[in-house]
Structure 1
Amino acid sequence: MNVRRRSSAAALAATAVLGAAAAPAVAADPSPSTPASKSQSTGLYGTTDPQFDGVWRQSLALLAQDTVGVIPSAGAVQWLTGQQCDNGAFAPYRADTTKPCDAKTMVDTNNTAAAVQALWAVGGHGDAVEDALTWLKSVQNKDGGWGYTPGSPSDANSTSVVIGALTATETNPEQVVKDGKSPYDALLTFALPCAEDKGAGAFAFQPDKDGKLLPNADATAAGVLGVLGKDLVTEAGKKTADAATCTDAKSREQAAANGAAFLADAVAEDGHLKSALGGSPDQPDYGNTADAVVALAAQGGADKAAEPLAWLQKNAAKWAEESGPAAYAQLIFAAHATGTDPRAFGGTDLVAQLNATGPAPGGVKDTATASTEDGDEKEKEKDKDDSPFGVWWFVGVCLVFGIGVGFLLSGRNKKQQP
């Protein structure tokens, strides 16, 4: 499989829309308020301490820019590539990238999968993408899925974001198998059966200590995207009718329909998902609501996401301003998935706001010559592929810390990389 980049024309066409941020669930919540040092922040989006979400927010920012036809800053891309370990994996953040990664470096699947999707989208980093994909495959669990860290039990969010990385890079998840199990096999084990009194059709993050599956909206948004084989940036799927009843999932499509029905019910009353922190009253969950918009649109068309989308347009601007780059990216993904203009999202220009959180972009993609350039580059790359030095295959996939952090995504046409 050849490494490709999406055409400029396609990228600009996406400018009028917006997609799901974080493929299988939600984008990272804002990191602690401690400012990053100048040496740490060069090329980095956002001003808060990147210790827990540097790679995640950087990846989502670059991916969102590419989605709306903005050419990211070369320095911003270099910041991300500089975070990669020699084995291909990414940690949330490495303060000193001159020191090689060792056993104490907390690499994980979520940041690696998100970085894969971002570097695949911007193009020109085939080796980095290939190394990251190779590492992800090397830490696949025997059930076919992935946990947040290598060797940890599989969970719905991590498995979904890696599926997104595989799909984005034109790698078929069904062919990424461990002990006869694919990522889809693992993901379907987190779907609650329809016989459940509470949460029928939803996805659990992972079984609890007693082996019971508990419904989780974040994991459900991620799971819907995952079983559909979508990455963080996805467009609206074919319009479908609301399911009359939950039907036990014997297929990925049915599991997605069940999960979408659960999400639709969850947002029906207030137009958004809720979360409770530390025993406090329920609060609106902006990030997971954005992910739910992406999942609902991907499964059954933009109309299914109309209510939570409208709520985000009315209420999410302040949240995004306080939360930073990943939040703006999530809203851009939600806009893209529903065909909404991200530059006029409830009166907010999400693109301008995102760009303002980091180094100035390198420009805007030119649609006038994109089609011609696409054809010329494909011919050149075809010649390279016929030689012994041709670039051949890959790329990869989304989400961050587990339950409070999310993600969601879509396969795109890409040009071959040089």
Structure 2
Amino acid sequence: MDGCEGRVAVTGLGAGVSITIRGAGVGVTIIDCQSSNQRAFLFDTKADGFFLEDFSIVNGGGPNTAYNKGGCMRLMDASTVTFTRIHVNGCMVDDGAVTKAGCVEVGQSSSLTIVDSTLENCEATGPGGCVQVPSGSSLILDGAILRSCTAGTVGGAIAVQNSNLFQVIGAGASISSSTAELEGGGVYLDQTAAIDVVAGAVFDVYNNEAGTSGGGIAVMQVGGDAPSGSIRGATIRDNSAAVCGGGMWWGEGVDVVLTDSLVAGNVADFGGAVCFAGAGSTGSLISNTVLSGNSATDGGGLYVTGSTSATLHNLTITDNTADFGAGAYFGTGAVPTLSGSLITQNHALVRGALYTTNDVGSTIDTVGTVSCTNYGGDAENADTSCSGVSRFVNPPPGDCASNTFCKRSTDPCTLAGPPATCTSACPTALWIP
């Protein structure tokens, strides 16, 4: 079908009735809107579900749309739609103002499930280059590919805003090569949005770019409300952010958990792999995760600032580079726990393993953490070999007093004068190999 001469309003027959629209296959059945500033579909609410199967939708919307949501498709409020083997390509929504959802916009209290389908090359001047999900709705991905989309604000591929569910199940999702002018080059969540990447589902977030923070993923508090949930088994790689968190960025007060994941090859000014950039984040937020091959000016692997008291457990922080703190950088007021982790083979101009600001408000509990064979200046050309004794001592619980640094050795420092004990995360003047 060529030229979507008007929005096709798909209206159901009432409760208990579902509608299936089926083609002969992707690339065989093609709905081409020819950039005519029209959508292909507008889904109403009067059905128990709409099912789209086996066709392509291309070139929906355009640079002068009379609408501001959903370049190719829009789900009206309280709609339920499932894509199976659907290809959406080259859609755009631009009405001269801030628009949402280059490919598909999900209305309030609606649900979109994407199964074995691809959304790509879509553009919005506002949030959600591929998909935007507003209040009270859900987006479920199962074998979905979202790539090469652009957002003029947040969420290059996906923007999930307010009280919504973003879930990755089954065959998982690939989010790649998308760009946001602000936060969340790949995925953006804010307010009370919840993310659930279930164990065993593939979640590959790569080659995305953010103009500010969260090259791969950004989770952000808005109006005092913060996202929640868990990301399990993710690969977050080769993303970039101009400011903080090349791989993933936690805003103020956000408690989204990342576990059993790989964060590799990402780049940012602060926190090449991950960044905690505000106050109030608590709980065990990263565990059983590798931060490897990332780079930044400050904190190649990890950057923490503000009164963040999160627990970071069982991390392998390796092969990262930075000017300051290739393994980790702890800024003013940071009070996290970095426990049971290995920091090794990181390279920096200053502090290959850890860098802390000269600020007594930062307390770093390094219980059970081993730091070895890192390289950096400031008398830390190479710290203790991994075959030798760790530079950290495991302090007993409660041994790190408030506004102090944890002890790493009971032996006197080689520096003259007080203090007589070296520390695991000490100010510049006290760090020795």
TM over 0.5: no
Please, what TM-score do these two structures have when normalized by structure 2?
Answer: 0.22
Structure (1 or 2) with the larger CA radius of gyration: 2
Question: Greater strand percent: which structure?
Answer: 2
Comparing both chains, which one has the higher relative contact order based on Cα–Cα distances under 8 Å and sequence gaps of 6 or more? 1
Question: Greater helix percent: which structure?
Answer: 1
Please, what TM-score do these two structures have when normalized by structure 1?
Answer: 0.22
